[in-house]
Amino acid sequence: MTKAPRLTRLELQLMDILWALGRGAVREVQEAIPEKKRPAYTTVQTILNRLEEKGVVRKVRKIGNAWIFEPAVNRKRTHERLIDDLLDLLGGSATPLVSHLVESGKLTLDDIKEIEEQLREKE
**Residue-wise pLDDT tens digits, 79-120:** 888 898 889 998 998 898 888 998 999 998 898 899 999 999
The domain segmentation of the chain, as residue ranges, is 9-71, 75-122
Cα dihedral sign, 51-52-58-59: positive
Query: What is this structure's pTM?
Result: 0.79
CA distances from 80 to 22, 32, 65, 69 (A): 20, 25, 35, 23
- CATH number of the 9-71 domain: 1.10.10.10
